[in-house]
């Protein structure tokens, strides 16, 4: 009698029938295009089967070699941050109603998820002081790239997009990937090497009737706060272009929202809003715009809208209002190639924002500002160290520059030997900053954590960069 695997329903008869339907005699024929030299012809050295208990023990043993990120020893940011996640956030976001939901194509059976995403959009619109927020993008980098394409679609006779010289290099690469096929020219704007601020003179020299949009990060990738946003917005709008702003949502507890300085399009990273930094994901792209019909119709992603019955008793209903994707409309009319939205990450963000509320977000913003500035001040007191090396005002991240022949890599290796993960090394990406690192301090770092970092850096510097 033929053995039937309990979890694999295909039998030998089924296999023969499938092979016959595609004109193959056996399974090996399916792989005939693979060169002989690449085919493994010996038995794999796989371990014997183990019980669930034994597998669990082995996994715990391996996991025990990992160092926890939330013990205050990690000062790495550069786009993904370590923030405290209240226990209620994953508890609610992990409910099966959210966890197993797919795209809400059928509104009549998806009212719960649609309402939650509508609340997500509403919460962010309020925080950002912008009229419309979609639901949602992959991450901030794809958000900026989609913003570049969107500005060109709106400003049809223009094909340039200006970005700050201090932009996150990874975001720049994604922008290039998205814009090159659309024949969009991406141009960097110079910046002051001391303040980090965008050069207004360079902006004015490069903005012309071919520029569709100008992008600004505030706080910037290098941590400093761009204090010229009003002047930049004025110059951009006077030249008929669209103003795109990239922000950190948690900074808006103490900083001006982009809608307040007349941004037309906003992008942000939503990972900070309740999602863990798990090997670089999941991330969440936040994307919004002002209440302008031309902009809204070119918005990538999708919008959840609220409707109501015309007669009493009035009942609310939620529906996908705009879904400009290839599978919804003709391909040539599609405004985005984002084919999956980060629904669960968006739900998580909505829960996180609801739990914290306005006062909680303000408190986190203040706490991060105080701790980051405390760290920068004490690092700057070390002979041979400058912090912040660029910019006057910082919020969460800041550049630290090392002098006296000490390299950023020596500092990095020295910190690792003391169980500390330092900042991102910037030496190759921003050679103008010399031997430098981008440090990140959030609400999870205690004064003791920061003091330990400062003392360790001081010890390494005093030894001339020696790690032992």
What was the pLDDT predicted at 148? 97
Helices then strands, each counted (H, E), the chain:
13, 13
pTM of the model: 0.86
Element (H, E) at 399: strand 397-402
What was the pLDDT predicted at 147? 96
In whole angstroms, how far apart are CA 395 and each of 124, 133, 223, 311, 447?
Answer: 20, 25, 7, 51, 16
- The shares of helix, strand and coil residues in the chain, as percent rounded to the nearest 5, are 40, 15, 45
User: Which tens digit of pLDDT belongs to each residue from 35-91?
Assistant: 989 988 888 888 888 999 999 999 999 999 988 888 889 999 998 889 999 999 999
User: Which tens digit of pLDDT belongs to each residue from 98-131?
Assistant: 888 777 777 778 888 999 999 999 999 999 999 9
Between CA 260 and CA 267, with CA 264 as vertex, the angle to 5 degrees is 90
CA distance 318 to 398: 43
State the residue for tokens 């795209």. Answer: 103
Structural tokens at position 28: 């090996």
Please report the beta strands in 37-112, taking only residues with DSSP state E, as ranges in sequence order: none
CA dihedral of 40, 43, 44, 46, whole degrees rounded to 10? 170
Element (H, E) at 132: strand 132-133
Instruction: Please check whether residue 134 is in contact with residue 301, taking contact to mean a CB–CB distance below 8 angstroms.
Output: yes
Instruction: Please check whether residue 285 is in contact with residue 140, taking contact to mean a CB–CB distance below 8 angstroms.
Output: yes
User: Which tens digit of pLDDT belongs to each residue from 158-199?
Assistant: 999 999 999 999 999 999 999 999 999 999 999 999 999 999
Q: Is the pLDDT of residue 236 over 60?
A: yes
What was the pLDDT predicted at 145? 96
In whole angstroms, how far apart are CA 150 and each of 306, 379, 416?
Answer: 25, 42, 43
Residue 241: DSSP 8-state: P
End-to-end CA distance of the chain: 68
Tell me what the pLDDT averaged over the chain comes to: 91
Give mean pLDDT, residues 415-427: 95
Choice between 221 and 337, residue whose per-residue pLDDT is larger: 221
In whole angstroms, how far apart are CA 428 and each of 166, 191, 268, 404, 425?
Answer: 13, 18, 25, 18, 8
What was the pLDDT predicted at 14? 87
CA distance 214 to 233: 9
Q: Could you state, in order of their start, the residue ranges of all structural domains in the chain?
A: 88-353, 358-462
Instruction: Please check whether residue 391 is in contact with residue 224, taking contact to mean a CB–CB distance below 8 angstroms.
Output: yes
Residue 461: DSSP 8-state: H
Instruction: Please check whether residue 186 is in contact with residue 215, taking contact to mean a CB–CB distance below 8 angstroms.
Output: no
Give mean pLDDT, residues 342-363: 94
Tell me which fold the domain 88-353 belongs to: 3.40.640
Element (H, E) at 212: strand 211-217
Give mean pLDDT, residues 447-463: 96
What was the pLDDT predicted at 324? 59
Give mean pLDDT, residues 406-415: 95
Beta bridge partners of 284: none
Question: Backbone dihedral region of 17: left (phi > 0), alpha (psi from -120 to 50 degrees) or beta?
Answer: alpha
Give mean pLDDT, residues 252-279: 94
pLDDT band at 320 (very low <50, low <70, confident <90, very high): confident
Tell me which fold the domain 358-462 belongs to: 3.90.1150
What was the pLDDT predicted at 127? 97
Q: Quick one: what percent of the chain has pLDDT higher than 70?
A: 94
Residue 441 neighbours by CB distance under 10 Å: 30
Choice between 339 and 59, residue whose per-residue pLDDT is larger: 59
Structural tokens at position 82: 């370590």
Give mean pLDDT, residues 15-27: 90
State the residue for tokens 């507890």. Answer: 253
CA distance 458 to 445: 19
User: Which tens digit of pLDDT belongs to each residue from 273-310?
Assistant: 999 988 767 899 999 999 999 999 899 888 899 999 88
């Amino acid at each position: 009698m033929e053995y039937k695997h309990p979890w694999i329903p295909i039998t030998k008869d089924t296999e023969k029938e499938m092979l016959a339907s595609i004109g193959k005699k056996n399974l090996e024929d399916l792989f005939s295009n693979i060169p002989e030299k690449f085919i493994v012809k010996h038995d794999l050295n796989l371990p014997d089967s183990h019980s669930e208990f034994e597998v669990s023990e082995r996994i715990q043993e391996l996991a025990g070699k990992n160092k926890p990120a939330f013990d205050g020893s990690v000062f790495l940011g550069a786009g993904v941050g370590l923030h405290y996640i209240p226990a209620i956030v994953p508890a609610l976001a992990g409910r099966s109603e959210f966890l197993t939901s797919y795209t809400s194509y059928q509104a009549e059976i998806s009212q719960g998820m649609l309402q939650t995403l509508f609340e997500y959009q509403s919460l962010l619109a309020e925080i950002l002081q912008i009229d419309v927020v979609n639901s949602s993008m992959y991450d901030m980098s794809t958000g900026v790239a989609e913003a570049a394409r969107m500005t060109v679609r709106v400003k049809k006779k223009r094909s340039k997009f200006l970005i700050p010289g201090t932009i996150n290099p990874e975001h720049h690469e994604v922008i290039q990937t998205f814009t090159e096929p659309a024949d969009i020219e991406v141009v960097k704007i110079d910046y002051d090497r001391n303040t980090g601020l965008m050069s207004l003179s360079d902006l004015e020299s490069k903005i012309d009737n071919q520029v569709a949009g100008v992008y600004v990060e505030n706080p910037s990738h290098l941590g400093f706060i761009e204090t010229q946003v009003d002047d930049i917005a004025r110059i951009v709008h006077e030249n008929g272009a669209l103003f795109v702003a990239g922000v950190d949502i948690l900074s808006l507890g103490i900083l001006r929202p982009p809608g307040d300085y007349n941004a037309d399009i906003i992008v942000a990273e939503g990972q900070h809003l309740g999602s863990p930094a798990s090997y670089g994901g999941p991330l969440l792209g936040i994307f919004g715009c002002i209440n302008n019909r031309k902009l809204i119709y070119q918005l990538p992603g999708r919008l959840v809208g609220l409707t109501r019955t015309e007669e009493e008793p009035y009942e609310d209903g939620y529906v996908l209002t705009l879904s400009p994707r290839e599978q919804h409309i003709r391909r040539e009319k599609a405004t985005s190639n984002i084919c999956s939205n980060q629904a669960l990450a968006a739900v998580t963000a909505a829960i996180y924002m609801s739990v914290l509320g306005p006062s909680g977000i303000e408190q986190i913003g203040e706490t991060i500002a105080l701790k980051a500035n405390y760290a920068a001040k004490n690092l700057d007191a070390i002979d041979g160290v400058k912090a912040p090396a660029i910019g006057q005002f910082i919020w969460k991240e800041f550049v630290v520059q090392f002098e006296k022949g000490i390299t950023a890599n020596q500092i990095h290796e020295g910190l690792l030997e003391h169980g500390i993960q330092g900042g991102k090394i910037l030496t190759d990406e921003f050679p103008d900053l010399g031997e430098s690192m981008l440090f990140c301090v959030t609400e999870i770092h205690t004064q003791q954590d920061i003091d330990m970092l400062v003392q360790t850096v001081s010890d390494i510097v005093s030894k001339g960069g020696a790690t032992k």
